[in-house]
């Protein structure tokens, strides 16, 4: 079979890779329906994370079950399934507490930009739809496997409540999905921080009520202006840089909460500053599995349409161009079709 392999920064190739097969009785193999490039794939692509040996890429997927291991009874060949970038048994104490992305048997997915994918912990990880959904739903369901689930976690971790004010830092796919989540959870005012016109438009369509184009301390000053000088109830940090985290912490009101879901790169938090801010802080890899049944249902009922974050569709064998387009910000997110 063929799949994407990263060799060096800026060098992703579509080439022959080892066939996906059952290695453990808890595995499944799926045939990819659609997959995509993630903003976090750009960290190694841009040389911000070491690559080491050439290795496969991709952690977002929906597909058709091809084969299951002997211990997998929850899904069967032919079913359409949605999973998460972090696999989980869904039975250990961390899973029972709703933090499946800290599962004691967790394995992170990393081979999904390929024709077939091996899914470890398939029993706990995969959720099958009742019937095979129409192709128009596939992008939305794919978004649920990471960016929509992560945006939801940002809103959940930042304790968005009906009637509250939420600020979203970051206008990538996760930030845009975080706007959807804040709206679904009842935020009355949703302030999206974005300086890119097409993304501002999508943020508004997803439910943003205000757009702030300033960044850094100027951005914080704008948020304060919009919130009677106090700051926002909830801030959803969806970038992972030091500047974005500072912006998030300074935009929350005393007693407010920051949910941070961008993988931190060179972020350091000052203890004194955090202490006196009175801001609650929670983040980490999203427990997407906890949200899957609900989010799948919202997509299939057409209540939300997170698939709109995909603004470029390419055949899987042009995956390298998909990375380039996102790196150069010509695309928000690239959908790949086998």
Q: Which is nearer to Zn ion, 95 or 226 (CB)?
A: 95
Least Å distance, CB 92 to Zn ion, is 3
Q: Which is nearer to Zn ion, 85 or 220 (CB)?
A: 85
Least Å distance, CB 151 to Zn ion, is 11
Least Å distance, CB 283 to Zn ion, is 15
Interface residues with Zn ion (CB under 5 A) are 38, 88-89, 92, 95, 103, 146
Least Å distance, CB 66 to Zn ion, is 23
Residue 94 in contact with residue 102, Cβ under 8 Å? yes
Residue 234 in contact with residue 159, Cβ under 8 Å? yes
Least Å distance, CB 60 to Zn ion, is 5
**Residues with Cβ within 8 Å of residue 234, at least 6 apart in sequence:** 155, 158, 159, 160, 161, 164, 165, 166, 167, 182, 187, 252, 256, 257, 258, 259
Instruction: Give the tokens for residue 209.
Output: 């009520």
CA-angle at 68, arms to 4 and 127, nearest 5°: 80
Cα–Cα distance for residue pair 164/158, rounded to 1 Å:
11
Candidates 203, 284, 273; CA nearest to 240 is: 284
Least Å distance, CB 261 to Zn ion, is 10
**Residues with Cβ within 8 Å of residue 96, at least 6 apart in sequence:** none
Q: Which is nearer to Zn ion, 38 or 181 (CB)?
A: 38
Q: DSSP assignment, residue 134?
A: P
Instruction: Give the tokens for residue 26.
Output: 């808890």
Least Å distance, CB 260 to Zn ion, is 15
Least Å distance, CB 312 to Zn ion, is 16
Q: Which is nearer to Zn ion, 123 or 251 (CB)?
A: 123
Instruction: Give residue 52's region: left, alpha or beta (phi > 0; psi -120 to 50).
Output: left
Least Å distance, CB 121 to Zn ion, is 8
Q: Which is nearer to Zn ion, 89 or 156 (CB)?
A: 89
Number of other residues whose CB lies within 10 A of the CB of residue 303:
11
Q: Which is nearer to Zn ion, 106 or 250 (CB)?
A: 106
Q: Which is nearer to Zn ion, 146 or 156 (CB)?
A: 146
Q: Which is nearer to Zn ion, 38 or 192 (CB)?
A: 38
Bridge partners (DSSP) of residue 166 are 190, 234
For 140-159, letters b (16+ CB in 10 Å) and e give bbbbbbbbbbbbbbbbbbbb
Q: Which is nearer to Zn ion, 153 or 226 (CB)?
A: 153
Bridge partners (DSSP) of residue 187 are none
Bridge partners (DSSP) of residue 186 are none
């Amino acid at each position: 079979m063929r799949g994407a392999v990263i060799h060096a920064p800026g060098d992703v190739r579509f080439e022959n890779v080892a066939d996906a097969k059952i290695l453990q009785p808890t595995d499944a193999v799926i045939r990819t329906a659609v997959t995509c490039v993630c903003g976090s794939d750009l960290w190694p692509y841009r040389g911000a994370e070491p690559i080491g040996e050439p290795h496969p890429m991709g952690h977002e997927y929906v597909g058709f079950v091809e084969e299951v291991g002997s211990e997998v009874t929850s899904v069967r060949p032919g079913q359409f399934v949605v999973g998460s970038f972090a696999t989980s048994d869904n039975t250990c104490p961390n899973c029972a507490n709703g933090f499946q992305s800290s599962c004691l048997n967790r394995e992170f997915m990393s081979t999904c930009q390929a024709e077939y994918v091996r899914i470890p912990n398939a029993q706990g990880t995969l959720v099958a739809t009742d019937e095979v959904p129409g192709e128009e739903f596939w992008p939305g369901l794919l978004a649920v496997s990471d960016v929509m689930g992560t945006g939801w976690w940002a809103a959940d971790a930042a304790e968005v409540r009906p009637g509250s004010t939420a600020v979203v830092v970051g206008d990538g796919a996760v930030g845009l999905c975080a706007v959807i989540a804040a709206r679904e959870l009842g935020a009355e005012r949703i302030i999206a921080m974005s300086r890119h016109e097409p993304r501002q438009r999508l943020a508004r369509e997803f439910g943003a009520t205000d757009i702030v184009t300033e960044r850094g301390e100027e951005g914080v000053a704008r948020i304060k202006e919009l919130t009677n000088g106090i700051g926002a109830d909830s801030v959803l940090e969806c970038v992972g840089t030091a500047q974005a985290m500072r912006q998030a912490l300074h935009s929350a009101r005393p007693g407010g909460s920051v949910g941070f879901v961008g993988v931190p790169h060179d972020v350091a938090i000052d203890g004194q500053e955090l202490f006196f801010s009175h801001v609650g802080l929670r983040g980490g890899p999203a427990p997407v599995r906890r949200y899957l049944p609900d989010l799948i249902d919202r997509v299939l009922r057409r209540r939300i349409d997170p698939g709109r974050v995909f603004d470029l569709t390419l055949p899987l064998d042009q995956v390298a161009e998909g990375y380039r387009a996102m790196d150069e910000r010509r695309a928000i997110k690239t959908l790949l079709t086998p």
